Amino acid sequence: MERNNLIIGGHYVAPKSGAFEEVKSPFDNRVVGEVATANLDDVEAAIAAAVIGFEKWRRTPAHERFAIMLKAAALADERQEEMAQIISAENGKSLVEARGEASRSGEIMRLAAYEGAQLYGETLPLDANKGTGFDKVGFTIKQPVGVVVAITPFNYPALLVLHKLAPALAAGNSVVLKPARSTPLTAIALAQCFIDAGLPDGVLSVITGAGGLLGDALVSDKRVRKVSFTGSTRTGEHIARVAGVKKLSLELGASGPVVVLKDADIEYAANSISLGGYINAGQVCISAQRVIVEESIMGDFLAALQPKVEAIKVGDPSAADTKVGTLISKAEADRVAQSIRTAVADGATLLTGGEQDGTVIQPAIVTNVDPYSAFAQDELFGPAVAVSSARDVTHAIELANSTIYGLGAGVFTNNMNSAIQAMREIESGVVHINWTQLWRADLMPYGGMKSSGIGKEGLRSAIAEMTEVKTVIMHGQAWN
C-alpha cells in the first residue's frame, strides 16, 4: 500500500505533523491507500509556493502552457484504467461508471488547453464617447487572477477536480487543491499527470486532510485571489462569509426536478429517469430527485418506471455486471434510508426498493410525496426519486420552482409551447428538454441559480471566471 505525502509546489513533501490516515473502500472497508494529514503550516507552505509559482507560470507563453496541458492529457489517457480502478476503490462507484469518468479526463484537459490559449480581448470604440476623437485607442486584455484555491467533493473525484484544475492552469494561474477527505487518491493521481508533463515548480499543490481545519485558512488567505468550491450550500455560505474580497465560484446543493407532462413519450421518460435518478447511487448534485408527473398519466408512468428501476444491478463496485455501487459511507447510507422511512411515515408510498445492506441501498421509488415535504425539498444525495403529481404544466413549473435550489431541471413533453414555457420559467441554471438534468457536456456553461450557487463552470466559462479583464487606454495627441 502506497503512502502519499503532500504535494507542495509540485514536489512530494512529508506533512509537518508527521501524521497520515487511511483511505478505505466504502464497499468492504478495506484499506486502499494512505495519505498525509496536513496542518496549517502545510497550508502556509502551499500558498507561499503558489505565489512564487504564479509569477513564473503567468509569464509562460500560452503556446508553452498549451503544450504542457496536452502532454498531461496524453498521460491521463494512458493512465485511464489505473485512474478508474482508483476511483472505484475509494469512491465505491461501479467500475462501469468509474471507467466512464476516467475516460473524460484527457478531453477536459485538452478543452482547457485550447480555451486557455484563446484569451482574446476586444477593442473599444472610444470615439463613440462624447468629446473624444481619434487620438485615443482602447482595448482589453485578459490575465490570470493569481492563486486559485480549489475545493472538491467525493462524488466525481476526477471530473470535479479537473473542472477546476484544468481551466485554472490553462489560463496561467497557480492552484492549491483540497480534495475530499474520502477520495484524495484520484486527485493525487491527476496532479501527477500535470507534474510529469512538466508543470513548473510552485504551480500546483495538493493538500489532504480535514476540511474543517484547512478550509478556512485556505479560502480566507489574502494571497488567494479566487476560490472554486463544489459542495453543500451550507459550506458554500460559510465560504462566502469568510473568504473576503476575492472571486468566488460556488457550485452548491440541489433538489433537481423532472417534469413529465401528459404529451410526453412515457417509455422514453421512464428510461431516462431510471438513469438520471440512480447513477452514482444518486450522489450527484444534478440527480433527478423530484419527479413531477401530470395527474392523468401517473399510473402509466409508474408502470413504465418500476421495472426499469428494479432491473438496476447494485452491489460490489468491482463486479462486471454492477451498474450502481455504494454510497460513500455507512453514515450516508443510514441517512438516506432514514429519509425514505420518514417520508413513508409522513404519508408517502414506497413503491419499490429502499432496502439497505451496509453502504448499499436498493434503488427506490417513493410515490405520493408531498412536494413541500422535506423528502422533496431537501437534497437527498441518494438512490431514490420522489414522485409527486401536478394538475397541468403551470402547476408543474410552480412545483419545480418550489425549493431554494436551482441547478438543473428536466422536462419531458412533445408540445412546443409547453417546452418553451418550461425553459423560460423554470428557475434553473440548466434546463433539459426531453432528458433529465443528469447530463453534462464538459464544454457547456454549468452552474446554478438561487441557493445552488454562483458562477459557471465548463471550460470556457471557468476560464472566464479565472481571469481578470484589464482595460488599456493609449492617449495620443490630436494630429489635425
The string of pLDDT tens digits covering residues 43-55 is 999 999 999 999 9
What is the structure's pLDDT at 1?
A: 65
* pLDDT band, very low/low/confident/very high, at 226 (cuts 50, 70, 90): very high
Q: What is the mean pLDDT of residues 240-248?
A: 97
What is the structure's pLDDT at 478?
A: 81
pLDDT digits (tens, 9 = 90+) for 380-390: 999 999 999 99
341: left (phi > 0), else alpha (psi -120 to 50), else beta? alpha
Does 368 have pLDDT greater than 80?
Answer: yes
pLDDT digits (tens, 9 = 90+) for 321-342: 999 999 999 999 999 999 999 9
Return all residues near 48 (Cβ < 8 A) that are at least 6 apart: none
Q: How many residues does the chain have?
A: 480
Q: Which long-range contacts (CB under 8 A, 24 or more apart) does 395-401 make?
A: 396/259, 396/261, 396/292, 396/294, 396/422, 397/259, 397/421, 397/422, 397/425, 397/426, 399/257, 399/290, 399/292, 399/371, 400/257, 400/259, 400/290, 400/292, 400/426, 400/427, 400/428, 401/425, 401/426, 401/427
Q: How far apart are CA 460 and CA 445, in angstroms?
A: 8
Does 127 have pLDDT greater than 80?
Answer: yes
pTM of the entire predicted model: 0.96
Q: What percent of the chain has pLDDT over 70?
A: 100
Q: How far apart are CA 386 and CA 100, in angstroms?
A: 27
Return all residues near 170 (Cβ < 8 A) that are at least 6 apart: 65, 66, 69, 112, 113, 115, 116, 117, 459, 463
Q: What is the mean pLDDT of residues 168-173?
A: 98
DSSP for residue 201: T
Q: At what angle do helices 105-116 and 80-91 cross, to 10 degrees?
A: 110
pLDDT digits (tens, 9 = 90+) for 260-309: 999 999 999 999 999 999 999 999 999 999 999 999 999 999 999 999 99
Instruction: For residue 361, give the nearest of 387, 335, 388 by alpha carbon.
Output: 335
Asked if 205 contacts 50 with a C-beta cutoff of 8 angstroms, the reply is yes
* pLDDT band, very low/low/confident/very high, at 2 (cuts 50, 70, 90): confident
> Is the alpha carbon torsion for 292, 426, 438, 231 positive or negative?
negative
Beta strand 6-8 pairing with 384-390:
unpaired
Instruction: For residue 271, give the nearest of 304, 230, 238, 300 by alpha carbon.
Output: 304
**One-letter amino acid identity for 441?**
A
Chain mean pLDDT for the chain: 97
CA–chain centroid gap for 38, Å, is: 24
Give the H or E element holding residue 234: helix 233-242
Report the catalytic residues.
251, 285
Q: Which residue, chain included where needed, has cell 494630429?
A: 479
* pLDDT band, very low/low/confident/very high, at 479 (cuts 50, 70, 90): confident
Q: How far is the first Cα of the chain from the last one, in angstroms, to the nearest whole number?
A: 77
Residue 371's SS3 state is: coil
Does 85 have pLDDT greater than 90?
Answer: yes
Q: List phi, psi (to 5°) of 245.
A: -80, 100
Asked if 174 contacts 191 with a C-beta cutoff of 8 angstroms, the reply is no
Return all residues near 225 (Cβ < 8 A) that are at least 6 apart: 145, 146, 147, 148, 246, 247
Number of H helices and E strands in the chain, helices first, is: 16, 25
